[in-house]
Structure 1
């Protein structure tokens, strides 16, 4: 599931979670699966049958229904739900609890981009010793790859966000502009729409770091690599430059509205047709249905734009649930997490209100693929969105301090959207600032 808070920059202060990282990277028995840590499937099930209380932090609207189903299956367990409002607030609260050593939840939602921030300092439980490796085949490769890095399994995927091209068909039809399928066609279609109506933009972007990293990923870039305390940053690799060269033309052509995403102005522009398309994750239908009611019947979804006709995709957003290393009721937390993100009952409850699954079974089900959306003019949208999950490039990594990197994006790479620098130079500035920050945090950083 994705809401507007997931697109905001994470709260500043990522260094709080990174402080002392190198000292913690060796790990302790807590949260590493060593020195007696772990349990068999039978022991986990026995703990759930015996019962107790656990605390779950999340911002997903489906949580109450999932908990109700869980407590029906395990009546001796009480789940105390804490709504953390969104990713930024969630991370800040978790950092505070971990620093204080008090109030740490048993299970907590984290965006994929934030996992390393907590895993490297030893603040997450490695679920390998609880048998979670057996669950790998349940999930898409990209989401499993996000939770299984650095020789451990640090959570279970909740959802996924393979990118797609969402467009207002009525706007394109009104102006006689063909819907693009490639980035070159996107550039030309944007120019045609502007020529037909100067107030219409093919899209909007004011320099969104989350969108930027997803588009770099989709272009084949692999700019961030982390192995323990060693981090490599190369924001001039072939894939990154492929995107930058293309997107520089988009910026220079002035075909994007200068309207920040997730604002009232943005929703209004989507409602009245000023913004004709969006490229974002498969969670997009819920955003449009709830926030853009005037577009009902007009919007459609198409596969992600390509560079040369070859379907290649990336993830945009998405979250996992994890068990903190200091969880007070760890075994119950492990059991609840396993049920939450691998049981059919829980996943189907998650999907009922717009959640886009990370599990292969649900993505391939006839019911899911055959769903025809009234909002999208009767289109079987999940066929397109699930197809996008098949093409996600594997191997992507975020920085261990991605929230901080996003925070400094506007003052470095973001200057390209203001015409103050080129994208290539802006990315170089972003890299330099990240190298300095990572070094200051105790990492060995190379380019």
Structure 2
């Protein structure tokens, strides 16, 4: 699971797939695998389940999960784990939602990004992992990722990886134009101005509308535009932190300091390779993207803390996720064992080895891990920067219980701000109005 930004490019496949709030129910009503229903079970029952021939189905687009499954099967030879890639992000979520709606066909476990957990948890589609006593594992994970997997009073995943925000910058470009690494957004804007003045083909970054990035920057600026409590939802894109973000980012848009190329396009990758797109503000997973897809720029890129909006700024998260257990499953004891193996046991080591940034506290306390020098980034100890960012993530952020839908309509409502046809705050306001309307249509009480 080295790459978790995929829902940030989610298409309209998910429009209309959210379960209505009027069907909200107590989460986790399925059988535990031993006939005990939703009752709590202990370690003895989980261990006993591993000694029974069982076949699990897991939906995931993770490149490392098949290797994790193979290692688990060697350790527990009576368990067969079938990892099925039914599509990435939007495609999988659509199929998952269809199975939930039909009441059959869902896998035992599925990759669900942190931002999507509320949508499935509040509908009763996921099992509360407190049933297995997994809430006792809290101290094994970082506070920011642990907060992301708890919804209401329930625990719906054990964190696997994290996407703490950082600034990726092309040192070769910065050196060429004698630009200092910006510690604040004001300095970031000045760096963009200097680049454009020196050579109009160079841009400080690229953004033609990215909902995930927008949410993460609002979070870092202190914004908390979304809250949810059961079927009660608040949408407020006029809160102080959101306004702070919009005012700062508007300068980049007004002065055309951002490249208009679409993220993940060939032109975008080319801009990163040549250094003409000089920075990326992104989650830690971007390190793997650069190494895998912009290999010829090895040695040019570095990592720095995300620029601060002001003295009160925090960090935030972009991306990340783990495995959730579907309530339809009838093999939940064995599924619980595999889920724990993936996030809290040897499986987490296998995933980390692929370049995924870990959510485990032990890994982030390891001097060997923190001090690892990355050749792509000029021998820089990038894990220290990511770990520091994760420790400074602002508390209290919530995603909408229909955030997956919110992502799909962002560009339709706010996209004109990136072409200069609308102010960014106005675009965010339009987005918010649609989110209120949609939430009410789904049966939520939206304020």
The normalised TM-score by structure 2 is: 0.95
Please give the per-residue CA displacement for 1:414-433, whole angstroms capped at 9, x wherever unaligned: 22112121112111111111
Contact 2:31 2:37 in 1 (8 A): no
Please give the per-residue CA displacement for 1:385-442, whole angstroms capped at 9, x wherever unaligned: 1111100011111111112111211122222112121112111111111111000110
Partner Cα distance (2:172, 2:16) in 1: 47
Unaligned stretches of 5+ in structure 1? none
Please give the per-residue CA displacement for 1:258-299, whole angstroms capped at 9, x wherever unaligned: 011111111011111110110000111110001111210110
Q: Could you say if the C-alpha distance between residues 409 and 31 of structure 1 is closer, same or farther in structure 2, counting changes exceeding 3 Å?
A: farther
Partner Cα distance (2:319, 2:5) in 1: 11
- Three-state SS of the structure 1 residue aligned to 2:50 is helix
How far the C-alpha of 1:139 sits from its partner, in A, is 1.1
Q: In the alignment, does 2:437 pair up with 1:436?
A: yes
Partner Cα distance (2:438, 2:48) in 1: 46
How far the C-alpha of 1:311 sits from its partner, in A, is 6.2
How far the C-alpha of 1:96 sits from its partner, in A, is 2.1
Partner Cα distance (2:366, 2:280) in 1: 27
Alignment-derived partner of residue 402 in structure 2: 401
- Three-state SS of the structure 2 residue aligned to 1:49 is coil
Worse-superposed segment, 3-12 or 398-407:
3-12
Runs of 4+ in 1 over 6 A off after TM superposition: none
- Three-state SS of the structure 2 residue aligned to 1:55 is strand
Q: Which of 119, 129, 136 is residue 121 of structure 2 equivalent to?
A: 119
The normalised TM-score by structure 1 is: 0.95
How far the C-alpha of 1:102 sits from its partner, in A, is 2.9
Alignment-derived partner of residue 330 in structure 1: 332
Q: Could you say if the C-alpha distance between residues 315 and 227 of structure 1 is closer, same or farther in structure 2, counting changes exceeding 3 Å?
A: same
RMSD: 1.7
Alignment-derived partner of residue 30 in structure 1: 30
Partner Cα distance (1:94, 1:252) in 2: 41
- Counting matched residue pairs gives 443
Q: Which of 192, 207, 211 is residue 205 of structure 1 equivalent to?
A: 207
How far the C-alpha of 1:76 sits from its partner, in A, is 0.9
How far the C-alpha of 1:85 sits from its partner, in A, is 3.7
Alignment-derived partner of residue 420 in structure 1: 421
Partner Cα distance (2:433, 2:354) in 1: 42
Partner Cα distance (2:227, 2:13) in 1: 22
Q: Could you say if the C-alpha distance between residues 187 and 420 of structure 1 is closer, same or farther in structure 2, counting changes exceeding 3 Å?
A: same
Q: Could you say if the C-alpha distance between residues 427 and 17 of structure 1 is closer, same or farther in structure 2, counting changes exceeding 3 Å?
A: closer
Contact 2:169 2:303 in 1 (8 A): yes
Q: Which of 215, 233, 236 is residue 235 of structure 2 equivalent to?
A: 233
- Three-state SS of the structure 2 residue aligned to 1:7 is helix
Q: Could you say if the C-alpha distance between residues 317 and 31 of structure 1 is closer, same or farther in structure 2, counting changes exceeding 3 Å?
A: farther
Q: Which of 304, 307, 311 is residue 305 of structure 1 equivalent to?
A: 307
Worse-superposed segment, 116-125 or 82-91:
82-91
Unaligned stretches of 5+ in structure 2? none
Q: In the alignment, does 2:55 pair up with 1:53?
A: yes
Partner Cα distance (2:144, 2:97) in 1: 26
Contact 1:200 1:276 in 2 (8 A): yes
- Three-state SS of the structure 1 residue aligned to 2:18 is helix
How far the C-alpha of 1:159 sits from its partner, in A, is 0.8
